[in-house]
Structure 1
Amino acid sequence: MPREVRERQMLDAAVRVFARRGYGAASMDEIAELAGASKPLVYLYLNSKEDLFTACVRREADVLLAAVRAAVRPEDPAERRLWNGLRAFFAHTAEHPEGWAVLSRQARSYGEPFAGLVAELREGVVDIIVRLIEEAAGTESLDGCEASGLAYALVGAAESLADRATCPEADAPAARDAAATLMNVAWVGLENLVNGRRWGVVRA
């Protein structure tokens, strides 16, 4: 079997085990057995448990970001691109709940270098959202700090909804419904900002 195929099988197995058991409790024996490979071969290809987990986090982050970028087509208007990007995000996390669990729960729980890889994913999504907000609102209506703040808020909300949607016990919304929820918050709010309607700080 080509090494590329064998490594993919190992990563697939590792994502399942890490998502189910967490990084600390996951064993290389279980990963090797699920991948149909010997433990020495897993170590030969992927060096260590830490390196294996890092490879899983990086792969899942890259695939998710690629799915969002592919959905945001440059020929579409900004509103449609944001809608398509949100739908792609929720569709991907719903279709790959174990990969999302590794990114959203496991990688963040064990510090560096894993949390840094998730932060890179978030920055990539935030960059996409900032550009869409700036194109839709115009730099005259929003400054860079406001656009960035809105993008971070939107991404944080998307992550929370994805966590809920991939929780087995939750009454999870469909990808389309989750995306519509954020569009109602983000786009309606953005229209208000463009039209000069802002929440003012009330001082006692």
Structure 2
Amino acid sequence: MLDAAVAAFARRGYRAASMDEIAVAAGVSKPLVYLYLNSKDDLFTACIRREAEALKAAVRASVEVGAPADRQLWSGLLGFFEYTAAHPDGWTILYSQARTVGEPFADEVAAMRAEIVEFVRGLIAAAARDAECDEELAEREVAALAHALVGAAESLAGRPGPATGRENAATLMNFAWSGLANLMSGHTWTPSGFRPTPRAGR
């Protein structure tokens, strides 16, 4: 039933997809759909939650625990891109449909995204510790870098074109890791004449 619903919502959108067509595609009666899930809203929420849990599990499982920091980040990105490429309907629901329909569906996706960002933040923070990066610099930059990296990955995964998951992961690593490596060693870029705003209590 959820497989049929995911396909229908991804193909036609939340508003256009009907419970009738979902029931037909699932090979069950419409009353049975309502028996298990009280409404179209509940069905869509169940789809979002299933796809979100599957994506999070795929990313976590793909990370090579104990590997060097760059290898862990690479394997996590590769897991993300390979999963979204293999499950385009699920990714369409998470990246396009749920965000545009509005609350409470967008909140479900935001919660999933926050977990992935926190997971990536942990990977980058571990890399900073391994590189003995300045603690103040790491504290200031790591969370922002995690948000930026996840946003870039989402954008690439939603991009039409022939690029494979491996190519997308390599593109993002080439874009991000050189900058991260410089940051970890204390070599940061600032525009000419820029002075950071003093932090409270410092």
TM-score (normalizing by structure 1): 0.89
Residue 102 of structure 1: which of 93, 101, 105 is its match? Answer: 93
**1:143, distance to aligned residue in structure 2 (A):** 2.7
Tell me, yes or no, if structure 1 residue 178 matches structure 2 residue 168.
yes
Distance 2:44 2:32 in 1: 16
Distance 1:151 1:172 in 2: 26
Runs of 4+ displaced beyond 6 Å: none
Partner of 1:194: 184
**1:203, distance to aligned residue in structure 2 (A):** 4.8
**1:111, distance to aligned residue in structure 2 (A):** 1.2
Does structure 1 retain, via aligned residues, the 8 Å contact 2:23–2:33?
yes
Partner of 1:152: 147
Q: Percent identity among equivalent residues?
A: 59
Q: Deviations over 1:159-185 (max 9, x none)?
A: 000001xxxxx3231111100111111
Q: How does 1:133-172 map to 2 (within 5 A)?
A: 133-138=124-129, 140=134, 142-164=137-159, 170-172=160-162
**1:187, distance to aligned residue in structure 2 (A):** 1.0
Structure 2 spans left out of the alignment, 5+ residues: 195-202
Distance 1:125 1:70 in 2: 13
Q: Deviations over 1:4-54 (max 9, x none)?
A: xxxxxx100000000011111110000000000000000000110000000
Distance 2:8 2:174 in 1: 37
SS for the counterpart of 1:23 is coil
Pairwise CA RMSD: 1.4
Distance 2:140 2:38 in 1: 42
Distance 2:128 2:32 in 1: 53
Distance 1:202 1:57 in 2: 46
Partner of 1:64: 55
**1:112, distance to aligned residue in structure 2 (A):** 1.2
Amino acid at match of 1:81: Q
Does structure 1 retain, via aligned residues, the 8 Å contact 2:128–2:138?
no
SS for the counterpart of 2:13 is helix
SS for the counterpart of 1:160 is helix
Distance 2:80 2:154 in 1: 9
Structure 1 spans left out of the alignment, 5+ residues: 1-9, 165-169
Partner of 1:84: 75
**1:124, distance to aligned residue in structure 2 (A):** 1.3
Tell me, yes or no, if structure 1 residue 34 matches structure 2 residue 25.
yes
**1:137, distance to aligned residue in structure 2 (A):** 1.8
